[in-house]
């Protein structure tokens, strides 16, 4: 609506306020400030551990460590929490083979690793994490296995978990594993 000199100032001010309010509301709709706890209660049975606790538990139970490196502002991290970690296929392998750990890549929270004290953000840097989410895998002796950068759809993520959790990575490539798995699925 073009304004002319005859448009009252009050009308102009109200119009500007309404437009700014609509714009601010639209921007706010795209901002989500929740961290991993933003997953709806009851939607997941994954029990996430702090790094220190998970590190110790992996050694005690001889399970691998899955570290979900995230940030509070990462929309793909939230999507992974809501769509992937809630999938029963993913939960089944996680529960059987892994100790799942959340690591905030921007946190200054200190943790101890091999008699070293460092922040969660420093550990993420040392693991070579440059994007979010990134899933990092360690064996039960906390030896690095691999990392997977970015969002991964739940069916594919379950396959990655089986590949690592069942130790297929020790004797074959992921592509070889997939071709064997696909062949057995078609029979």
**Cβ–Cβ contacts within 10 Å for residue 182, how many?**
10
- Helix (H) / strand (E) containing 138: strand 134-138
**Structure confidence at residue 6 as a pLDDT band (50, 70, 90):** low
Question: Look-up: residue for tokens 């979010």?
Answer: 132
**Structure confidence at residue 183 as a pLDDT band (50, 70, 90):** confident
Whether 165 shows a pLDDT value over 60: the answer reads yes
Q: What is the mean pLDDT of residues 176-181?
A: 91
- Using CA atoms, how far residue 156 sits from 10, 126, 174, in Å, is 58, 27, 11
Whether 7 shows a pLDDT value over 90: the answer reads no
Whether 80 shows a pLDDT value over 70: the answer reads yes
Report whether 145 contacts 169 (CB < 8 A).
yes
Percent over 70 (pLDDT), the chain:
76
| Distance in angstroms (rounded) separating the CA atoms of residues 63 and 142 | 10
> For the whole model, what pTM was predicted?
0.74
Domains within the chain, CATH numbers bracketed: 1-31 (no CATH), 36-185 (3.40.30.10)
Q: What is the mean pLDDT of residues 114-141?
A: 94
| Distance in angstroms (rounded) separating the CA atoms of residues 138 and 119 | 19
Whether 99 shows a pLDDT value over 50: the answer reads yes
Percent over 90 (pLDDT), the chain:
65
| Of the candidate ranges 111-115, 128-132, 149-153, the one whose mean pLDDT is the lowest | 111-115
Q: What does the mean pLDDT of the chain come to?
A: 82
Whether 84 shows a pLDDT value over 70: the answer reads yes
pLDDT in tens, 16-55: 444 334 333 333 333 333 334 444 434 557 999 988 899 9
């Amino acid at each position: 609506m073009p304004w002319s000199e005859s448009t009252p100032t009050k009308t102009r001010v109200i119009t500007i306020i309404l437009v700014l309010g609509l714009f601010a509301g639209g921007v706010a709709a795209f901002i989500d400030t929740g961290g991993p706890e933003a997953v709806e209660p009851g939607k997941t049975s994954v029990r996430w551990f702090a790094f220190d606790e998970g590190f110790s538990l992996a050694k005690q139970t001889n399970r691998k460590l899955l570290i979900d490196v995230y940030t509070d502002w990462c929309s793909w991290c939230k999507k992974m929490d809501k769509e992937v970690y809630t999938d029963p296929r993913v939960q089944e392998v996680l529960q059987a083979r892994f100790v799942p750990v959340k690591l905030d890549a921007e946190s200054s929270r200190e943790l101890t690793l091999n008699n070293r004290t460092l922040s969660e953000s420093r550990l993420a840097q040392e693991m070579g994490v440059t994007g979010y989410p990134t899933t990092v895998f360690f064996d039960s002796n906390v030896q690095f296995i691999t990392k997977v950068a970015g969002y991964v759809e739940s069916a594919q993520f379950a396959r990655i978990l089986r590949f690592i959790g069942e130790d297929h990575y020790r004797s074959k490539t992921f592509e070889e594993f997939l071709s064997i798995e696909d062949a057995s699925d078609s029979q």
